[in-house]
Structure 1
């Protein structure tokens, strides 16, 4: 079985004229925005400007009940248990509320289950232990809505619960004093995409306002930024507004733990970008919850002493290195299992090994999704007769819905569209795989079997300069729901190539006498690189030894051709680019039409056939495919 799937490029549809004329951006960026559906002044304004958020009270119907109970707890210096999850979202949420509630007078304590010993979420044993310790109020963050047994036990013990969670709500409302959840907001609410840490931030911010203690949340925005990016929450609506402002100040955080993480990551004293969180800070936090004890991160992010914070940060750093080694080993084993199987690649990848580490199988599942573009579940041994799994999926395949279809075969499950987890009996794994495979096969039929590469706009290498980079920054922050633009460039000569450790490839690409550096991650050893290529890429900057260079982060390469074919019911049309700005169209009967494209991207031909709407449509599509329009 081949490790790399066949890639199919799908270029964007032509754009007539300049539909975003008032916007002062380069044509490539305007093309990206237009193709993402930002056609109105209101949608562009929401992206490019800072708009105030509406009052949270108007969007969360049970927020007031939560605030009244928390005000009483702060006034009475009451013990509050913050029941979080062991991922970066849950741990930053826990630390955020720990710091805020303590500064407002309460006595908070963290209660995060162990990934290895307890599994996900609030459980009855935790409730009983906290009740015995004299805790009468629990606040969940990033979990809780599916903890039916734990919530029932809390009710029996007269322990009050405030639920803040963003995972899929069950059919019936969970038992709780108050539920703070994005699904309870009105349609179109900017708060609808908040992750757990976003809900924790709203709760802390509103409570601080009610008690007139703004200093209590002076580090809350910093933890919000880290948790939101780490959880890959959609960077739209409230997430975008809060993150965009928070990133301006994150590098000078007053949280000693955040400063320690930045120092260990070597980020320096510069404003941070979402990438810095996603690739540098978040992994150091996530690693702890995956293979260590989450209390370490909570201690780090609530520490006030810089020396203590740095030592705790070093422990997180060491666990992250260990996590990387585990991931690489399991990934290699998973790929070997798939490659050694002579049967066709299944629509749903399900692999099970008893010795795999629960804490990192989700990361490896995500890597398999990226590699094979199919849903993937990795299973490891749990308790006697059971296996625990992490699931990831490409966009369009809803993990939570798929698991819901398999409820009869599962002991427990949870998650959201992109990711989830479940526990299953060993003797049910085969039937489960068959069911999931059927669901994925139906999805795959509609999506297609090849890996789809969908560039959003043409960008020539000579257009990549500091002015373009500055304009690109106006569209940040990038992340889930608002990804980095995927550009493409045609006819790039491979001037130099260098194999790097880890199976990566560094390239020097040349186009029209302009050179740019490029990096290809995980380049297959056996793959042959054409001398002239079309390249789909994200534009980044590489900071190395005090020098900053533009870098093309390559997502796909293909051999360059100056000819393309357009398949229609009437037959196959062949289009050839005539340098510098001409097109030759040959219809199925062999008739030829020649035209040129002026600087405004308008077709110009003496042949009246070019004005026919059908022919003009073919030519416009060819203009995009052959690089005459962005």
Structure 2
């Protein structure tokens, strides 16, 4: 895929010089910090030295006082409390977190995860009736519920109170719950708007601790759950999320709960787990149960207090994850073939595909895979319970939730974020929706949205890449949305010592005129398998032609020896 390179706007020279002097870094690092909104010594101190004591007062969130009051009343009256959560990583970690905390205060606690296939997303009628039939007088919903007006109304009629802890965008009308915790409410003045669903559950736990006069230190072992939700749900790693992710990674790396330890072992992860490791190794394993079977298995794993038991549960989850990968690969291949054969839609600005036997649990992943090949807003639909149900994924800068909402008259249900959404519609409306969605996207989307962009932070010389430079750079972690890992442009370099790894990847060393230092680079997936190598990346590298390269600086530790490498993002030859 061809990429557009775009430089992040460079900070003002005077600002760079001032920050450089205040915190004793070079101009490249000062520029990167200013690009991330770090303007002076005080802000740099907060950024580099996160502190859990700086978290916002949870009672700043609208309805937090009502939620805490109702939960403490339920505990005082010995009522049964049901923790209800979505079946994805954010939902299951949120349930595990709040369940683990409330279990220390009250014995009559249980949890409920809806079945993806029988009940669908969010608060279901089946879930509400289960709560009523089993004598639960209070349900705390996590990572869902903000639009569940009908079923929360039913709960009220059945004398079941609801507290909703959500982070999705509310509709114009809110459900009739006792309390609704969602920083995205128009009437909520909570300072940080980007918490995960699990993050809202943590703030509720924090508020209960404060009300009871308990030390919040008892919550910190729960942060390994919270960082997994932050990473897997792709919320911005800024502000409060960055602090929570920073300490969550510490917990995950030093003292993870048995369930997390078992997942770390299943994923063959090392001792320095990063946000990327969670996204690609831990998150998919937790998600797998909810995608193919029932997410209750993931919650059982996450709340397990015994490592031997957790290892057994993790092995079962790992088997499901392997099955998920097979579904993912097969359906992605079918979807890409379908796109390739639809000549009339080749010039469209969107992709909407339907096949009735595709597995509902992986269609979101398939949508993302299709975007890797055809860079445009994509919706993958399949049949479930007699309806067409789908997952939507978007491209950078395009709000797919808003586009879907303009087709809401054709839909029975929809919800989600700017870049990811879910929807359900009647089978006979699929083609009409496909055409309407394309009309909406064609009007809304801009040319710049249809070509993938790699933003880089600064140009850098090879001699600038030193251990001291990297030691400061890695302190900017955890990286993720809102605080991306810095990408640098290496200009007018050439390659030597070129080798191919596993027939897919390229390893080479770059040199630059006027620079004493060289550096090893790894280009993953860049070894083009075609026979005529002359015009491939590999062939051009071997010709010693000069090129510009974008890459991330990483540390490589081998047999106790540390060296710096560059992970290549893209190469452009003259």
Name the TM-score, length of structure 1 as normaliser. 0.82
Aligned counterpart, 1:508: 508
Mean CA deviation greater in 414-423 or 107-116: 107-116
Instruction: Please point out which of 519, 523, 531 is paired with 1:519.
Output: 523
| 1:448 Cα deviation after fit | 5.4
Residue 247 of structure 1 aligns to a residue whose secondary structure is helix
CA distance in 2, matches of 1:542, 1:338: 40
| 1:337 Cα deviation after fit | 2.1
Aligned counterpart, 2:369: 367
| 1:544 Cα deviation after fit | 6.7
Instruction: Please point out which of 376, 379, 382 is paired with 1:380.
Output: 382
Aligned counterpart, 1:346: 348
Aligned counterpart, 1:196: 197
Aligned counterpart, 2:407: 406
Mean CA deviation greater in 386-395 or 490-499: 490-499
CA distance in 2, matches of 1:156, 1:392: 37
Aligned counterpart, 1:71: 72
Equivalent runs, 1:429-440 vs 2, <5 Å:
429-440=430-441
Aligned counterpart, 2:263: 261
Residue 361 of structure 2 aligns to a residue whose secondary structure is coil
CA distance in 1, matches of 2:522, 2:105: 50
Residue 179 of structure 1 aligns to a residue whose secondary structure is strand
| 1:36 Cα deviation after fit | 4.3
- In 1, are the aligned partners of 2:495 and 2:511 still within 8 Å (CA)? no
Aligned counterpart, 1:419: 420
Counterpart check, 1:123 vs 2:124: yes
Counterpart check, 1:226 vs 2:228: yes
Name the TM-score, length of structure 2 as normaliser. 0.89
Residue 492 of structure 1 aligns to a residue whose secondary structure is strand
CA distance in 1, matches of 2:316, 2:462: 43
For structure 2, the residue ranges without an aligned partner over 5 or more in a row are none
| 1:380 Cα deviation after fit | 1.1
| 1:537 Cα deviation after fit | 1.9
Counterpart check, 1:540 vs 2:554: yes
For structure 1, the residue ranges without an aligned partner over 5 or more in a row are 561-630
Larger Rg: 1
Aligned counterpart, 2:183: 182
| 1:43 Cα deviation after fit | 5.0
Residue 257 of structure 1 aligns to a residue whose secondary structure is helix
CA distance in 2, matches of 1:259, 1:496: 39
- Length, aligned pairs only: 553
Equivalent runs, 1:549-564 vs 2, <5 Å:
550-560=564-574
| 1:160 Cα deviation after fit | 0.4
CA distance in 2, matches of 1:113, 1:542: 43
Aligned counterpart, 1:333: 334
| 1:157 Cα deviation after fit | 0.6
Aligned counterpart, 2:284: 283
CA distance in 1, matches of 2:109, 2:419: 32
* Change beyond 3 A, Cα 1:173–1:15: closer
CA distance in 2, matches of 1:276, 1:547: 22
* Change beyond 3 A, Cα 1:124–1:13: closer
- In 2, are the aligned partners of 1:291 and 1:319 still within 8 Å (CA)? yes
Aligned counterpart, 2:357: 355
CA distance in 2, matches of 1:548, 1:391: 42
Residue 91 of structure 2 aligns to a residue whose secondary structure is helix
CA distance in 2, matches of 1:64, 1:139: 15
Counterpart check, 1:162 vs 2:163: yes
Aligned counterpart, 1:9: 5
Post-superposition CA distance 1:546-572 (Å, at most 9, x none): 776544332222104xxxxxxxxxxxx
CA distance in 2, matches of 1:271, 1:185: 40
RMSD: 2.5
Higher helix share: 2
Aligned counterpart, 2:443: 442
- In 1, are the aligned partners of 2:397 and 2:449 still within 8 Å (CA)? no
CA distance in 1, matches of 2:247, 2:405: 38
| 1:338 Cα deviation after fit | 2.1
Mean CA deviation greater in 100-109 or 29-38: 29-38
Residue 83 of structure 1 aligns to a residue whose secondary structure is strand
| 1:54 Cα deviation after fit | 5.2
Mean CA deviation greater in 395-404 or 167-176: 395-404
CA distance in 1, matches of 2:571, 2:26: 24
CA distance in 1, matches of 2:392, 2:218: 38
CA distance in 2, matches of 1:182, 1:71: 22
Aligned counterpart, 1:145: 146
Counterpart check, 1:235 vs 2:237: yes
Post-superposition CA distance 1:56-78 (Å, at most 9, x none): 34421211111111112223443
Aligned counterpart, 1:308: 309
* Change beyond 3 A, Cα 1:547–1:292: farther
Instruction: Please point out which of 518, 528, 537 is paired with 2:536.
Output: 528
CA distance in 2, matches of 1:507, 1:223: 36
| 1:55 Cα deviation after fit | 4.6
Counterpart check, 1:248 vs 2:250: yes
| 1:480 Cα deviation after fit | 1.6
| 1:132 Cα deviation after fit | 0.7
| 1:538 Cα deviation after fit | 2.5
CA distance in 2, matches of 1:324, 1:464: 38
Post-superposition CA distance 1:98-147 (Å, at most 9, x none): 11111111422111111122210111121112101111100000000111
| 1:151 Cα deviation after fit | 0.6
